[in-house]
Amino acid sequence: MKTADKRIVIFGATGTVGAYAALYLKEMGYDVVATGHRKSDSGFFASYGIEYHSVDISKKEEFDKLPDKGIFAVVHLAGMLPARMKGYNPQSYIDNNITGSLNVLEYCAKAKADRIVYSQSISDVSYLCGSSKPIPSDAKPGFPPSNDHSVYAISKNCAVDLIRHYNAKYGIKYYLLRFPNIYLYHPNPMYYVDGVEKWQGYRLMIQKAINGETIAVWGNPNRVHDVVYVKDCCQIIEKSIATETAPCGMYNVGTGIGTTLEDQIKGIVEVFTPKNMEKPEILHDPSKPDATEYVFDMSKTEKYLGYKMKYNYMDYLRDFKKEMELQRFEKLWGRDKYLSKEK
């Protein structure tokens, strides 16, 4: 089947990864149908020739709005996550991530979709984080027992089990993509930790570089992160749709490279400090807590999906800056009030 003949429905298309994925798949030649919780996308998707429907996945009747014939793949990126939850309402995880996923799977069965691509969370292997040893795609899943991600991780694991059941019952192929933090430009640099809104760490460092302010490296500067850019994530989503040979299962989304906190900050200073400013001073504060450390083993994703990283750490920063300047998603997400001061 040619790419242009493959109709793809994306749930969560108004979200961070979802919006990038919708445009990426459209650029690759797919017939894309975007859905999101938002009542209106302000005409954003139509401007790219993409059909948009407002769908609350927790309500089964809302799926009647969607086309149910000729669907090749469903990309399921919708749901509730801790980074977007003000306060704490665990029922929302059940309603969106379990009931919502069940409704998505029922839609897949009704539409006779060939496959589903689902975003799993790194929370299922959080017990393996804290080391630079690469985490394999097929690591045994678990959940953090007592933090703000606990019920979230349980709900995501439950959705994975439902997907496997629908594969056994209906033959729907599945590609489970384990997402760590996906680095990307969005005009809102904030997120929630334990229900309280805070700056995302890397976004705060970018803003400090833009403003020429001193940046502090907390804890051990040699701790590493697998920093994966959204456009490499989109590449893996597309390869999960295109593959005719890869076995169903779990696949890591990452680079396989651990970038130290020190190098992350040096890169941010290099790319985001305006040319008319001196580069800000980088200080070290070992009294502060260390960053969580993790690196993904990408061998399975590379072997079966043919993934090859296109954006190394510095490439990601430069492209992030381009997206920040282009404001491609302004109609969907609004204008960035923290735009670069560089002229």
Average pLDDT of the residues in 27-32: 98
204 touches 189 (CB < 8 A): yes
CB within 8 A of 66, min separation 6: which ones? 9, 33, 35, 53, 55, 107, 111
Domain ranges of the chain: 3-183+228-256+294-309
Q: How many CB atoms lie within 10 A of CB 55?
A: 26
101 touches 119 (CB < 8 A): no
Q: How is domain 3-183+228-256+294-309 classified at the CATH fold level? A: Rossmann fold (3.40.50)
Residue 342's pLDDT is 45
Residue 4's pLDDT is 76
> pLDDT digits over 115-136, tens only?
999 999 999 999 999 999 999 9
> pLDDT digits over 148-170, tens only?
899 999 999 999 999 999 999 99
Residue 54 in this model has a pLDDT that exceeds 80: yes
> pLDDT digits over 208-230, tens only?
999 999 999 999 999 999 999 99
Dihedral angle of Cα 136, 17, 73, 304, to the nearest 10 degrees:
-30
Q: Report the amino acid identity of residue 226.
A: D
Average pLDDT of the residues in 268-287: 95
Task: Indicate the pLDDT class of residue 207, thresholds 50, 70 and 90.
Answer: very high
